Amino acid sequence: MVILLLGVVKLPVEEAATRYLREVKLLSAPLDMSVRDSIGQMGIAASLGGMRSLVASLTYLQAYDSWANVDWARVDSYFRLTTTLQPRYDKYWDEAAWHMAYNAATNYLGRTELNPAVRGKLFHDHIQRGVDILQEGLRVLPQSTRLWNTLAEVYERRVVDPTKAGDAYLKVYELSKDVRYARLSAYQYASTSDPALWQKAYDLLKVSYDQNKKTPSLINVMKQLEEKLKVPMEKRIKEDVVPMGQGMMGPQ
């Protein structure tokens, strides 16, 4: 009876301690039923035994095996398991998104045995799947510069949405304080049709200009923006447009 009473008293204390440890990220959340169904009994036993990172490594390897067999559905499924088991490791989210937004999307676009409309839909669906993975990862790891940078690149190169790409690059700059990302953000804003974003781009580039980081791409975009924004002649930068020869590096 005494032991039973002690157990009743102890249970709320242990539950509160568990909640606290999960809130401060010192204890992982329990697996949900869908994950338990997917990884099998051996995987469940290993996970509950404190070996979640090992099980995640195995599902990660299975994802790559599926990639070698060009089985995109299984690649996505195994990466879902991997990121569920180890949600605080941004490399897993990053690679999962890369496989969907680049490898799977490009593969479907090139499959000429499919109807062109179907190929196009699969292409865009898998790019969006990559975006969704990154956004899900950022809900877990909002300070990850790696995930913000990959999201910016996907918006720039795959979705072709310069406003969202600029916002994501700017987030990398805010987190890292690396002005290169402020310039990348500015180049994206400068390519929009929004005058407010042109001004934002000019202000961001002016910071690098004042720090004497006067690359040809920076000079040229600032000159273009001065024309668009009708900046008074006396306030414009002194440099002329720089000829962009072959082999010259892109925006830096």
3-state secondary structure the chain: CHHHHHHHHHHHHHHHHHHHHHHCCCCCCCCCHHHHHHHHHHHHHHHHCCCHHHHHHHHHHHHHHHHHCCCHHHHHHHHHHHHHHCCCCHHHHHHHHHHHHHHHHHHHHCCCCCCHHHHHHHHHHHHHHHHHHHHHHHHHCCCCHHHHHHHHHHHHHHHCCHHHHHHHHHHHHHHHCCHHHHHHHHHHHHCCCCHHHHHHHHHHHHHHHHCCCCCHHHHHHHHHHHHHHCCCHHHCCCCCCCCCCCCCCCCC
Residue 4 has pLDDT above 50, yes or no: no
pLDDT of residue 47: 59
Residue 81 has pLDDT above 80, yes or no: yes
Residue 206 has pLDDT above 70, yes or no: yes
pLDDT of residue 240: 83
Residue 244 has pLDDT above 90, yes or no: no
pLDDT of residue 55: 86
The stretch 13-18 carries a mean pLDDT of: 55
pLDDT of residue 243: 80
pLDDT of residue 52: 82
Percent of the chain with pLDDT over 70: 77
The stretch 140-163 carries a mean pLDDT of: 98
Structure tokens at 9: 């008293």
The model's pTM: 0.80
Q: pLDDT band for position 79 (50/70/90)?
A: very high
Residue 46 has pLDDT above 90, yes or no: no
Residue 130 has pLDDT above 50, yes or no: yes
Residue 2 has pLDDT above 70, yes or no: no
Q: pLDDT band for position 53 (50/70/90)?
A: confident
Residue 45 has pLDDT above 60, yes or no: no
